[in-house]
Amino acid sequence: MNRKLRAGVVCACLVLTETLAFAAVPISVFPNPVQFGTIPQNSTSNYVSVFVTNTTINPVVISNMTITGANSAEFAFPLWTCVGTISANQSCQMYMTFTPQTMGSITATLSITITGVTGAVNIPLQGTGGNPIPVVTSLSPPSVYVNSANTKITINGSGFLPSTTVSLQTFNNNNPVLSTTFVSANQITAVVPASALSNQGEISLIVSNPQPGGGTWSTSLQVIGTDPSIGGVTPSSIVAGTPSETILINGQKFHERSPGTVEWRKHSHDFHQFFTASSAAHNREP
* Mean pLDDT taken over the chain: 84
The CATH topology of domain 25-130 is Immunoglobulin-like (2.60.40)
Q: Where are the beta strands (DSSP E) in 91-212?
A: 91-98, 104-114, 121-130, 135-140, 143-145, 151-158, 165-168, 179-184, 187-192, 201-209
Predicted confidence (pLDDT) per residue in 56-98, tens digit: 999 999 999 999 999 999 999 999 999 999 999 999 999 999 9
pLDDT band (50, 70, 90) for residue 270: very low
pLDDT band (50, 70, 90) for residue 280: very low
Query: Whole-angstrom Cα distance, residue 47 to residue 198?
Result: 46
Instruction: Note the pLDDT of residue 173.
Output: 78
Q: Which of 67, 87, 65, 86 is nearest to 75 (CA)?
A: 67
The CATH topology of domain 135-224 is Immunoglobulin-like (2.60.40)
Query: Whole-angstrom Cα distance, residue 14 to residue 58?
Result: 20
Note whether 189 and 181 are within 8 A (CB).
yes
What is the phi/psi pair of residue 274, to 5°? -145, 170
Instruction: Note the pLDDT of residue 250.
Output: 74
3-class secondary structure, 256: coil
Predicted confidence (pLDDT) per residue in 191-250, tens digit: 999 999 999 999 999 999 999 999 999 999 999 987 666 767 787 777 777 777 777 777
Any idea where the domains of the chain sit in the sequence?
A: 25-130, 135-224, 229-279
Q: Which of 222, 197, 220, 196 is nearest to 283 (CA)?
A: 222
Percentage of the residues of the chain whose pLDDT score is greater than 90 = 68
Q: pTM of the full predicted structure?
A: 0.72
Predicted confidence (pLDDT) per residue in 119-148, tens digit: 999 999 999 999 999 999 999 999 999 999
Cross-strand partners of 209: 215
Other Cβ atoms less than 10 A from the Cβ of 267: the count is 9
Query: Whole-angstrom Cα distance, residue 192 to residue 147?
Result: 12
Instruction: Note the pLDDT of residue 233.
Output: 76
Whole-number CA gyration radius for the chain? 36
